[in-house]
Structure 1
Amino acid sequence: MALIIIPIFYMLDYFGVIKIPNDDPLEVILITLFWWLSIALPIHNYNYIKRQGVTILKVMVLTAVFIVALVVDTLMDIPDNPVTFIILMGFWIGVVYLLVPAFIKKYWKLIALIYIPLFIYFLYLRLFYGDLETYLDIKKDYPFYVFFLPIPILFFLWVYEQWKWFQNLKSEKSKAELAMLQAQMNPHFFFNTLNNLYALTIKNSNKAPEVILKLSDMMRYTIYEGKKDFVTIGEEIAYLTNYIELHKIRYKKDVDIQCYYDVDTHLKIKPLLFIILLENAFKHGVESWSKNNAYIHMNLTYTDNFVQFEIENNFDGTHTNEGGIGLENLKRRLQLLFGKNYTLLFNKTDNTYKVTLKIPPHA
């Protein structure tokens, strides 16, 4: 900026608009520039200053305290003036508090425990141990670098706090994203079931109460149990069974559905991880199969400290279970929940599709 302003000053002086004295003109220009900026910048940034008024006031107070310390030290002209020392301590405490107020509020007791004894020790040596010459001899032999030794410790403590805050932020972000993914359960099935329920009630079918009960159980499980960190495998099996039974009521064609469970039903797992794979088996398999030999075979076992869910279905050759937002949702949930400690495998032939999911149970 100075490279632009200074030539402008000289140009104005050349045309007689202003008069720059011949003795030390650069100093005059810089002083004028300083005061011009001091006045112009607050006016230009008035709205910002208005918003940050409290912070700016604190900075001004700290600046005034620092100036007072310099003035006191200059006027009294005493080596290691205790008055100056006290004022400067207040200044630096204020600066640190302005920069990291949360850290000071949390660790003020530790900071006081470190620095109050040091300060008392300084006052004792400076004022009560002996005369000034004695104090200067002690200071020469034992410089007061001890006041600076705790600073690296406090700095690394602050860095640790920032790291911990960042880790908590990532954890909260993952939890929020996971909650959002769990809330994105596809309502398509529930709407279809309600439509079928409406048709059953029109016909006065005796299946209507059964459908209402199963649908109610499923909705209750999705809304309430789905929000829990863990559910038992028995609860998850009951949920999948209700889903299958409701689909059996929907279809007029015969579907070979076989479910095999060899697992401790009291084991706890994350909820609603298998339902997407079962939904896809019905949607891309049974619903696309025009013949009468559609099938879904499902196995749930526990081997090598992993809960293993396998599901296989046939399809007509034009559909696939690999796409869709539901499966992408599942993959993202698995990454958030288990990192790399899970397995999701897909095996596709001309008209069969098999998925294997292995997850760790809750310890």
Structure 2
Amino acid sequence: MIELLKKYKAFFIGLLIIVPAFIILDYLNFLNIPRDQPVEVIVITAFWALVIALPIHNYQYLKRKKKAVIGITSLFVLLFFTVLYDSYMKLPDNPITFISLMIFWFGLAYFLVPNFIKKYWKFIVFLYTPLLIYFLYLRLFSGDLEAYLKVKEETPFYIFFLPIPVFFVLWIFEQWKWVQELKKEKSKTELALLKTQINPHFFFNTLNNLYALTVKNSPQAPEVILKLSDMMRYTIYDGEKEKVKISEEIEYLNNYIELHKIRYKKSVEITFNHNIDTTYNVPPLLYIILLENAFKHGIETLTEKAFIHIDLYEDANFIYFDIENNFDASEINNSKGIGLQNLKRRLSLLYNQQHELNISSQKNIYKTQLKTPKHA
């Protein structure tokens, strides 16, 4: 909301200009502000504030658009001659003046907010055509001038200005929608960037291991190639999707675990239990950072009795990913890994604080639980 107010501060500048101007003109008797018609005064004040605000708001646009400047200048020339004509004729509510002023205002709006006018021109015509016909009927066909003025006193003429705040609110709504779309696009861009930041060191390490296996003619080499190929395909292609089946995410994690097992020559206990409906959809590459950290800061720091226990399960509303691993307490790494920061930012964008990420460390045991809503 603050961003919206900053973006459209021109309207408040318009109010700061028009309100003192009206007060001064009324004090000098160049303008008669009716004290008994507050609604009409507010509507007209807001309207003129908007008229002043639009050129201020579109200043950069007008600098680039010579045709728009020429068009607006022509409209103000029309306004000038209309005021002269109206002063010369001295006819109350002169129909020609009324129509000329409508041409001026709609022309000005068209040059300053063309997309809005093009989008809502049918709605504008729908609202203003009956009002114009009603005015012309009262002015030209309801009798002589005295009869018209009597009808005018009994008719709430501010109805002719009521569409103005309606369109103003509609315009503000359009701008609000634009800001929301901009935020949404920004979030999508950030998510895409965050996905590409998944640590690539695993793939390079696996390629090095694969090279060693091929040199030794190990029978494990084809299996490693197949699993690495599946993981790369999933990362590159499925990683671009908004959602994937959780069964695919499970397969990806299993491949990651199996490839790591091939690396280690020491005793490692790794369990991965998944008691969950595998048809659920989840964002891709959601759990890999937590699993990477368990290997990087757990198994790789220990020479024996290393373990990682993983549980993926559900309740009525949430999906849980629990991971527990031991580590060498003498090799504490106080640096804040980019992977975990990456995950926290991504979770915030995906779930808007509907998730929970709990991390705890006790003695040489590290526990993490990620809780995400099923239907986000």
State if a TM-score over 0.5 links the two structures.
yes
2:188 is the counterpart of 1:168 = no
Q: How far off its partner does 1:251 sit?
A: 1.5
CA distance 1:98–1:178, change in 2 (3 Å):
same
Find the counterpart in structure 1 of residue 308 from structure 2: 296
Structure 1, residues 225-251: CA drift from partner, whole Å, max 9, x if none? 122222222111100000001111111
Q: How far off its partner does 1:52 sit?
A: 4.4
Distance 1:307 1:51 in 2: 53
The question of whether the paired residues in 2 share the 8 Å contact of 1:288 and 1:319 is answered with no
Structure 1, residues 198-248: CA drift from partner, whole Å, max 9, x if none? 222222222111111101100111111122222222111100000001111
Relative to structure 2, which stretch is displaced further, 100-109 or 333-342? 100-109
The question of whether the paired residues in 2 share the 8 Å contact of 1:312 and 1:354 is answered with yes
2:314 is the counterpart of 1:340 = no
Find the counterpart in structure 1 of residue 168 from structure 2: 155
CA distance 1:49–1:83, change in 2 (3 Å):
closer
Q: How far off its partner does 1:76 sit?
A: 2.9
Structure 1, residues 285-339: CA drift from partner, whole Å, max 9, x if none? 11111x2211111111112421111111111112349830000000011111112
Find the counterpart in structure 2 of residue 9 from structure 1: none
The question of whether the paired residues in 2 share the 8 Å contact of 1:260 and 1:299 is answered with yes
Distance 1:118 1:179 in 2: 51
Distance 2:201 2:298 in 1: 16
What SS is found at the alignment partner of 2:265? coil
Matched to 1:214, the amino acid is K
Distance 1:341 1:349 in 2: 27
2:34 is the counterpart of 1:54 = no
Same amino acid, percent of matched pairs: 60
Find the counterpart in structure 1 of residue 54 from structure 2: none
Find the counterpart in structure 2 of residue 277 from structure 1: 290
Matched to 2:203, the amino acid is F
2:252 is the counterpart of 1:247 = no
Distance 1:241 1:74 in 2: 86
Find the counterpart in structure 1 of residue 8 from structure 2: none
When normalised by structure 2's length, the TM-score is: 0.79
Matched to 2:259, the amino acid is L
Find the counterpart in structure 1 of residue 80 from structure 2: 67
Q: How far off its partner does 1:349 sit?
A: 1.8
Find the counterpart in structure 2 of residue 97 from structure 1: 110
The question of whether the paired residues in 2 share the 8 Å contact of 1:255 and 1:294 is answered with yes
Distance 2:106 2:61 in 1: 26
Distance 2:196 2:68 in 1: 42
Structure 1, residues 238-295: CA drift from partner, whole Å, max 9, x if none? 0000000111111122211111121111222222111001001111111111x22111
The question of whether the paired residues in 2 share the 8 Å contact of 1:315 and 1:353 is answered with yes
Find the counterpart in structure 1 of residue 135 from structure 2: 122
**Contiguous gaps of at least 5 residues in structure 2:** 1-59
**Contiguous gaps of at least 5 residues in structure 1:** 1-46
When normalised by structure 1's length, the TM-score is: 0.82
Distance 2:269 2:223 in 1: 21
Distance 1:141 1:334 in 2: 62
What SS is found at the alignment partner of 2:301? coil
Q: How far off its partner does 1:53 sit?
A: 2.5
The question of whether the paired residues in 2 share the 8 Å contact of 1:269 and 1:362 is answered with no
CA distance 1:315–1:177, change in 2 (3 Å):
same
Distance 2:311 2:63 in 1: 67
Matched to 1:297, the amino acid is H
Which of the numbers 95, 104, 117 marks the counterpart of 1:82? 95
How many residue pairs are counted as aligned between the two chains?
Answer: 316
CA distance 1:51–1:118, change in 2 (3 Å):
closer
Find the counterpart in structure 1 of residue 3 from structure 2: none
1:1-363 matches, within 5 Å, as 51-289=64-302, 291-317=303-329, 318-320=331-333, 323-362=336-375
Q: How far off its partner does 1:186 sit?
A: 1.3
Distance 1:296 1:143 in 2: 78
Which of the pair has more CA radius of gyration?
1
Matched to 1:88, the amino acid is L
